[in-house]
Amino acid sequence: MNIVKPFKGILYNKQIIKDLAQVLTPPYDIIDPKMQDEFYKLHPYNFIRIDYGKRYENDNETNNVYSRAKEYFNNWQKESILVKDPKPNFYLLVQDFFLKTNENADSLRRIGFFGVYKLSSFSPQTIMPHEKTQSAPKEDRYLLTKTCGAYFSAVFSIYDDDSFTIENIAKEIIENTEPYFEFTDYQKVKNYLYKIENPNLIEQISNFMKDKPLYIADGHHRYETALRVANDLKHLNNEQTDYTIMYFTNLRSKSLKILPTHRILHNFHIDINHFKDYIKQYFHIKEFDLSNLKIAQNEMEKNREFHSFIIVMRDSLFLITLKDFKLIESFYNDQIPMVLKKLDVNILYYVILKNYFKITEEDLIKQKNISYEKDSFEVVNKINNIIGSIGFILNSTDVNELTEISKIGQTMPQKSTYFYPKIPSGAVIYSFYE
């Protein structure tokens, strides 16, 4: 059984902060140094200062990124920049966005809500991960959370509900309530946040979530951090430390979108003829001009079930499609389940990155000679500007693959999923101290 409760959220004071787009940020793990600097300049109360602050050469044990985050957090509450709700609520987040599919741009609306989740060990009855984690991000989130006594970014979870219970509740709220705030974020996504204050609706939502197993879509590091924090603070006998903030949305929604994350290899000298001869052993090859990326992507999407990729070279594109899975089974360890073997990111890794380019799993963890890119056109741009040696454009992972892998207790490689749109950090904060 899962326990999902309302909480006294800490939010930006809309009487002082008129435009939330000036102060909210995406999750820390997609912010690069350039974005970080831009958010610092955007507004003196931008949330970047708390959730993902700058580090300086003269930092020490008493003055560092975590102590500064705590100071900002405490001072902004004293100044009423951030204000805590007097009673526990759930918080409904509605996100309207456009997403291009082939030649069209679909208008979509994703509905989810923030609550606090009573932490539990991973199991098929409660909550399941789908990706591996690294120690460095977990240590960073642990120090931030423990120093500040609060969770600033929600774990993104999904549940299965073909009756669309939460969506039906949301429809009534949207039609009859003014949002606490609305703003358009850096992704050009329109965000609306509503407070769910009605005791009957709160009870209905809590009861509904009890029997809904959860899958972590985004925020694995944050969840494992919360488990560690709860264990370390048991001596305080504070029940609130047993919870973390979580965003919940329905995996049955047509607006739940997973985008692909493409790969770029660096510092490789590639003999194109030798490489093509290798590829031809396992894949059908079709060549495209660089200007025809969209056409190649459309064909790759149509070939999704046959495992297709686009290889980006400096003068051309190659659409490759697996001939027969039996040809590549020998690349895998026998202990790897078939659902993982047939995952596109694993086919690319085991057959091409590992066997041909000798990229190891440790290289992936350290991002040695490999980088990741969300925009397929940017992959082409970087290869042609000699920022990379070769690029690989993929189809997105399917949500059914995610749930199937999670249910058998397995995890995908990192960078297998990119849920879109992202949840704004700082929209609602959960402090486990009064």
pLDDT at 384 over 60: yes
pLDDT at 334 over 90: no
Residue 114 CB burial class (10 angstroms; 0-12, 13-18, ≥19): buried
Structural domain boundaries enclosing 326: 261-395
Query: Residue 216 falls within a domain, yes or no?
Result: yes
Are residues 55 and 103 located together in one domain of the fold?
Answer: yes
253-265 pLDDT, tens digit each? 999 999 999 999 9
Residues pairing with 216 in the sheet: 157
Q: Where are the beta strands (DSSP E) in 220-326?
A: 243-250, 257-259, 262-265, 283-288, 308-312, 317-322
The mean per-residue pLDDT over the stretch 207-225 comes to 95
- Per the rule left: phi > 0, alpha: psi between -120 and 50, beta: everything else, 347 is alpha
283-309 pLDDT, tens digit each? 999 999 999 999 999 999 999 999 999
pLDDT at 96 over 60: yes
Q: What is the count of structural domains for the chain?
A: 2
Are residues 94 and 124 located together in one domain of the fold?
Answer: yes
> How does 243-282 read in b/e, with b if 16+ C-beta sit within 10 Å?
bbbbbbbbbebebbbbebbbbbbeeeeeeeeebbeebeeb
1-46 pLDDT, tens digit each? 999 999 999 999 999 999 999 999 999 988 999 999 999 999 999 9
Q: What is the pLDDT of residue 102?
A: 55
Are residues 343 and 367 located together in one domain of the fold?
Answer: yes
Are residues 183 and 212 located together in one domain of the fold?
Answer: yes
Q: What is the pLDDT of residue 69?
A: 98
CATH number where 370 lies: 3.30.1760
Are residues 217 and 266 located together in one domain of the fold?
Answer: no
Query: Residue 401 falls within a domain, yes or no?
Result: no
Are residues 207 and 64 located together in one domain of the fold?
Answer: yes
101-140 pLDDT, tens digit each? 655 668 999 999 999 999 999 999 999 998 887 778 889 9
59-80 pLDDT, tens digit each? 999 999 999 999 999 999 999 9
The mean per-residue pLDDT over the stretch 150-154 comes to 96
Q: What DSSP element (H or E) covers 10?
A: strand 10-12
Q: What is the pLDDT of residue 237?
A: 83
Are residues 42 and 103 located together in one domain of the fold?
Answer: yes
pLDDT at 364 over 90: no
Are residues 194 and 84 located together in one domain of the fold?
Answer: yes
The rounded mean pLDDT for the chain is: 94
Are residues 74 and 202 located together in one domain of the fold?
Answer: yes
227-238 pLDDT, tens digit each? 999 999 998 888
Q: What is the pLDDT of residue 133?
A: 77
410-421 pLDDT, tens digit each? 988 888 899 999
